[in-house]
Amino acid sequence: MSTEDLEKYETEMELQLYREYKDIVRQFSYVVETERRFYLANSVDLQGRGGGGEGYFEL
């Protein structure tokens, strides 16, 4: 498989994934993005954590 074929395949897969998300995203209220993936959700529990000048959020 050539580099061009691989790039074309990756582009087609990304487009297919975009179309799938576009079809169902209206069913959800939130899109949560992490370093590893996206999540679709209808509710989100956001908790502030930490102290001493350093904090983070936990979903």
Residue ranges per structural domain of the chain: 3-58
For 49, how many CA atoms within 13 A lie in the half-sphere containing its CB?
7
What value does the mean pLDDT take over residues 21-45? 89
Average pLDDT, the chain: 89
Instruction: Give the global pTM.
Output: 0.54
What pLDDT was estimated at residue 44? 92
Q: Which two tokens stand for residue 38?
A: 């996206």
Determine contact, residues 40/26, Cβ cutoff 8 Å: no
